[in-house]
Structure 1
Amino acid sequence: MPARTIDSVLLPTDGSDGALAGAKYGLDLAAAVGADVHILSVADTSELEGISSLLETDMDERRAAIETEAEAAVEAVATMVEERNPELEVTTTTERGTPFRVIDRYADASGIDVIAMGTKGLTGLERVVLGSVTENVLRTVDVPVLAVPPEAGDSSLTRETVENILLPTDGSDGAAVAVDWGISLAIAFDAMLHAVTSVDTSRYMGDPHLDPGAILAELEAVGEEALEAVRRRARDEGVSVTGSVAKGPAARVIADYAEDNESDLIVMGTHGRSGFERQFLGSVTENVVRTVRTPVVCVPMGTRRGDDNSH
């Protein structure tokens, strides 16, 4: 991969179906790029601390049960690795603590390049919010997160199955960081890169002082400039690329494009840091992750690993 390497993939797990789905896709990614695999489960005993009625012996038993579950969750993913890709190097770990904090700390200490996690599924006709652990990880870590929705199903990430990678862009710094990763993943999977940008004039409607036609033309020009930057980068790396400007709200444009063009993977940027605290996920990225059926690689602006082939 030209500017971004993936040497290690972290698979956090709690034993749930969502976690196993995320682990499966993360394992596919690791196999495709020859990365080491780290499997981590966090025994979260914080809820027990607030139960004053528990005797110390009961508390110890509950803690032990939670830790046993964490160990079983790690073992289940380790077995998956052994069955699917036994040639990969695997590190297994269980730790105590708050899951998203432990995941962030582990990723930093172990030089993790990508974290793969499942998101929550549907409740009735309506998607519930992202799983709290996944959402907090997306908000805090400085490495890309492969977010896998349950609707991704039994597909996989291989050179045979990944043909189209969708790369939304708006020319911003956050989008520019994602471009590097999108191109690198297109190389890894020998896939076509689809760059798309949206033109949304709705926020300007109703202002009598603005010319809708002029606004549209200006936004389209900005969008074309962003697309051309992606085209140049992709062609320099020998990646097949196509680009298009679409009209409408960005999240809807991305979701529709992914569906209509059978995108196998979406790569897009998230917000960076504001002061010492990570901002809430960019509303576009957040909405895309919550609504699409396609795995999404969420790339933070502050990505600290995989730069220039070094750690």
Structure 2
Amino acid sequence: MRTGESDEFEFQSLEERAENAVEEIARLTADHDEEIDVTTTIRKGTPFQSIREYAKQREIDVIVMGTKGRTGLDRVLLDSVTENVLRTARSPVLAVPPNADEPAIDKIPFERLLLPTDGSDGAAIATEWGIELASRLESSLHVLYSIDTSFADESEADEFLEALEHRGEEALDEVRERGEDVGVTVSGATVTGAPAREIPSYATETNIDLIVMGTHGRTGIGQWFLGSVTENVVRQADVPVFCVPVSAQEP
């Protein structure tokens, strides 16, 4: 087989695979609820760019993606695509880990939502979405503020810790007040440790059904917390993570 014929055969194979994939999603959707309207589209190009542009053009409210494939190349590719969508999309992204299909989605009560916060702009828009989701799903909202002193100078550790604890209490109180205004039950907690480790751990310990996080903060510490930390939580979490970019509109 010549090079040109080989390339054409490979492209046709990819097209066939794409068609089978979207048809399977349409079938699964119809099996779940025949009244749901499904539109299927196949686009050529860099996957994360195509997803982002399609969402923008169609004014999509939420993008739903898996965080890991099965094995080998599928796993690496899907991880890369999902993370790039998380970094660049202007719409919220619901990132679903592969083990979230057990139990089935219709068996998950969504009774407990977790909202990590650091008081930044990114956390503020995530708070609005978290409270709205908790209200619609009739869920309780757990708010978590993680105090990370690993980058503090030892001579200033106590003073630094006290300042962060005070900031954390203010952030938790603000979410409690906003939740109470719309009848959402809010409980808050502060923990000491790296956020990327403490958030998944807290979610497991308290049987959280869904984590709601911002994907971008302002600058400096806020940007670090709501950027790389969110990506690490998405990689590690055993439950879906609803990721809200700072550019997202309020729900």
CA offset digits 1:65-108 (Å, max 9, x no partner)? 21111111000000000101111111111122221111111101
* Amino acid paired to 1:221: H
Provide the secondary structure at the position in 1 that maps to 2:136: helix
CA contact 1:121–1:149 (8 Å) conserved in 2: no
Of 196, 200, 203, the residue aligned with 2:151 is 203
CA contact 2:68–2:79 (8 Å) conserved in 1: yes
CA offset digits 1:262-305 (Å, max 9, x no partner)? 0000000012699xxx999712111111111111011111114x
User: Structure 1: how far apart are the matches of 2:218 and 2:20?
Assistant: 36
CA contact 2:122–2:226 (8 Å) conserved in 1: no
Give the Å deviation of 1:159: 9.0
Provide the secondary structure at the position in 2 that maps to 1:246: strand
User: Structure 2: how far apart are the matches of 1:182 and 1:299?
Assistant: 9
| Corresponding residue for residue 100 of structure 2 | 152
* Amino acid paired to 1:237: V
- Following superposition of structure 1 onto structure 2, how do residues 1-311 of structure 1 map, counting pairs within 5 Å? 54-55=3-4, 57-120=5-68, 131-157=79-105, 161-206=109-154, 208=155, 210=156, 212-271=157-216, 282-304=227-249, 307=250
* Amino acid paired to 2:79: G
Structure number with higher helix proportion: 2
CA contact 1:158–1:189 (8 Å) conserved in 2: no
User: Structure 1: how far apart are the matches of 2:210 and 2:3?
Assistant: 47
Ranges in structure 1 where 5+ consecutive residues have no aligned partner: 1-52
Structure 1 runs (4+) deviating above 4 angstroms are 121-124, 127-130, 156-160, 278-281
Calculate the aligned-residue CA RMSD, in Å. 2.7
Provide the secondary structure at the position in 1 that maps to 2:59: coil
* Amino acid paired to 1:286: E
Provide the secondary structure at the position in 1 that maps to 2:151: helix
Q: Which moved more, 1:285-294 or 1:71-80?
A: 285-294
* Amino acid paired to 1:229: E
CA contact 1:271–1:300 (8 Å) conserved in 2: yes
Give the Å deviation of 1:130: 6.4
Q: Give the share of equivalent positions with the same residue, in percent.
A: 50
Give the Å deviation of 1:202: 2.3
Distance 1:102 1:66, change over 3 A: same
* Amino acid paired to 1:99: P
Structure number with higher strand proportion: 1
* Amino acid paired to 1:79: R
Give the Å deviation of 1:140: 1.3
Distance 1:156 1:164, change over 3 A: farther
In the superposition, the TM-score normalised over structure 2's length comes to: 0.88
Provide the secondary structure at the position in 2 that maps to 1:266: strand
